[in-house]
Chain A
Amino acid sequence: MENKQLSIKELELKAKETRRLVIEMLAAAGSGHPGGSLSATDLIVALYSNVLRFNPKDPQWPDRDRFHMSKGHCCPLWYAILAQSGYFPKEELMTLRKFGSRLQGHPARSTPGVESASGSLGQGLSIGLGMSLAGKMDKKDYRVYVLLGDGETQEGSVWEAAMAASHFSCDNLCAILDFNGCQIDGKCEDIMGLEPVSAKWQAFGWQVIEIDGHNLQQILSAYDQAKTIKSKPTIIIAHTIKGKGVSFMEGVVGFHGKAPTAEETQKALKELS
């Protein structure tokens, strides 16, 4: 099913609406992870709006493109875009993290549109690799997208998957690195340095596309370019700002895993209106 293509202006508005939903969900839940949800919003809004091939009426459609959020703690963003895409009613978003909700604190298959659980970091690229290999085996033309956190790439298993995806020439696999430079305990470079990020992925045999992860034009071009790369996987290294869109959260490590207070929520929603 081909989705209607949104203009940059429309994407910007949708991203703003998505960020508002994320803030409202986290405020209602009283816990969760705003920072990384907001840094990846533009990347995921663009992906679901203009790139991914899917049908919310038939979530198991065999030819669907696959998306997996390996940095599972940013699921408020995933749930928001899934609701906007028609997988379930938007009202359900406010049940995030509540007892009996289909929207668990970290992704689970109880949520329509979620292919696989995540939350324990470092496993998602392998999940995507499995989806990629299945597609190749079945001679399907679907593509597989995996959102990785930057801190997450400190997990060794990410690099096992990186090595294998290149070894198996998985050109239907596209990783998206939300490179916001922050993790729970501080700046990535202070906790466990990641640089040189681009050179590392290149050395593992990946095509690297580096972009500003908040520039929707660059994001769409990167997805387009990734589709043309043959015989190797692609990673979009997206330079982002943690907490993007809410001034007092931007670049603030403390908002990795802390819900906004009532006052902060009002302030944030005002900025995003």
Chain B
Amino acid sequence: MAEQLYQRDVYGQELLRLGALDKNIVVLDADLSSSTRTNLFAKQFPDRFFNFGVAEQNMMATAAGLASCGKTVFVSTFAVFAAGRAWDQIRVSIGYNNFNVKIVATHAGITVGPDGASHQALEDIALMRVLPNMNIIVPCDGPQTAEAVNTAAKTSGPFYIRLGRSKVPTIENENDFKFAKAQVISPGDDVTIIACGIMVSEALRAVKTLAQKGIKARLINMHTIWPLDNETILKAAKETKFFVICEEHNVFGGLASSVDAVVAEHCPRKVIRLGIRNRFGQSGEPADLLKEYNLTSLDIEKAVLSNIS
């Protein structure tokens, strides 16, 4: 059994490390610091932490004001409130200004679980992807979360980093994390599976089962949604017959849409999209919800088998 980590635990620890190295780092939260784990930073560096209470719009625009004075600002809350509630502040005050604000949104996706639809962000990638200047990373596991946070801290401009609520298994992976460069986790020429976030571990399980059936699936971890690694996508389009895209997000506007657009423009291939289809979420345990919304390794395997010729 692989190591299992909470991405937000890793985020909290990484902030502590970065905070000690760089006095310019400031952290903001909106009454969710114990859930997002920014409370670790708050305890260690109380002078550089601000809790805004339940007021995300003010928090986002204040982050922009701090950034205008040269601060590197990490802002955290749940993904629904970060990307949804404060979208206009992100658009005008952070994105348009191209300020150094790093939004680290936790509790994204259906695996938020029992809290139900209001708290399950299934559209946040879409909301961020349409904003010029916004860099987007959806790390697949704990160690990659640290890489993403590190990249955001040292790369100028706004970032949106999407983290989940639940523990995720650490992916065995021989390649180093490189911002804006997709990771090919397993080679294969029969089909390309592209996933991000927790769907990478589901996809990896599917790849292993498919291998037993003689199907060689290429698995790509598209951790960076923007800037998108077109090169790796197009290489796969040329070398494999079709794509299966897996994301814990609406099939509109997220990873599938991103890949779709590149493939359609440069090298048309069939693209099967596994994601949330025109539905809100609901309460339940993460495992049950993944089943209900067709996001398990079995669903991925089925999608490959029913489309392979």
Residues of A with C-beta under 8 A to B70: 62, 134
Any A CB within 8 A of the CB of B221 = no
Across the interface, A127 reaches (CB within 8 A) one of B59, B61, B88, B96, namely: B61
Residues of A with C-beta under 8 A to B53: 163-164, 167
Q: How far is the CB of A169 from chain B (nearest CB, A)?
A: 12
B97 close to A130 (CB less than 8 A): no
Any B CB within 8 A of the CB of A161 = yes
Any B CB within 8 A of the CB of A129 = yes
Q: How far is the CA of A6 from the CA of B213 in the complex (A)?
A: 85
Across the interface, A116 reaches (CB within 8 A) one of B48, B57, B68, namely: B68
B57 close to A131 (CB less than 8 A): no
A116 close to B52 (CB less than 8 A): no
Task: Report if A130-B69 is in contact (Cβ < 8 Å); known contacts: A109-B97, A116-B97, A161-B62.
Answer: yes
Q: How far is the CB of A116 from chain B (nearest CB, A)?
A: 5
Any B CB within 8 A of the CB of A207 = no
Chain B residue with Cβ nearest A138: B69
A126 close to B65 (CB less than 8 A): yes
Interface residues of B in 57-90 (CB under 8 A from A): 57-71, 88-89
B58 close to A126 (CB less than 8 A): yes
Contact with A along B5-48 (1 / 0, CB 8 A): 00000000000000000000010000000000000000000011
Any A CB within 8 A of the CB of B177 = no
A126 close to B26 (CB less than 8 A): no
Q: How far is the CB of B82 from chain A (nearest CB, A)?
A: 15
A120 close to B88 (CB less than 8 A): yes
Q: How far is the CA of A185 from the CA of B88 in the complex (A)?
A: 23
Contact with A along B225-257 (1 / 0, CB 8 A): 000000000000000000000000000000000
A130 close to B66 (CB less than 8 A): yes
Chain A residue with Cβ nearest B58: A160
Task: Report if A130-B55 is in contact (Cβ < 8 Å); known contacts: A137-B48, A157-B89.
Answer: no
Task: Report if A164-B71 is in contact (Cβ < 8 Å); known contacts: A127-B62, A127-B93, A133-B66.
Answer: no
Most chain A CB atoms below 10 A, which of B47, B98, B99: B99
Count A interface residues, CB 8 Å.
Answer: 33
Count B interface residues, CB 8 Å.
Answer: 31
Across the interface, A157 reaches (CB within 8 A) one of B47, B48, B57, B99, namely: B57
B92 close to A123 (CB less than 8 A): yes
Residues of B with C-beta under 8 A to A137: 26, 47-48, 71
A134 close to B65 (CB less than 8 A): yes
Residues of A with C-beta under 8 A to B65: 68, 116, 126-134
Residues of B with C-beta under 8 A to A131: 65-66, 68-69
Across the interface, B58 reaches (CB within 8 A) one of A108, A115, A164, namely: A164
A130 close to B96 (CB less than 8 A): no
Residues of B with C-beta under 8 A to A62: 70
Residues of A with C-beta under 8 A to B68: 115-116, 127, 130-131, 134
Any B CB within 8 A of the CB of A257 = no
A157 close to B69 (CB less than 8 A): no
Q: How far is the CA of A109 from the CA of B67 in the complex (A)?
A: 13
Known A-B contacts: A119-B92, A123-B89, A127-B93. Give 17 more (CB < 8 A).
A109-B98, A116-B65, A117-B97, A118-B92, A120-B92, A124-B61, A127-B62, A129-B65, A130-B61, A130-B66, A137-B71, A157-B55, A157-B57, A160-B58, A161-B58, A161-B61, A167-B53
- CB-based closest 5 A-B pairs: A130-B65, A126-B61, A134-B69, A160-B58, A160-B55
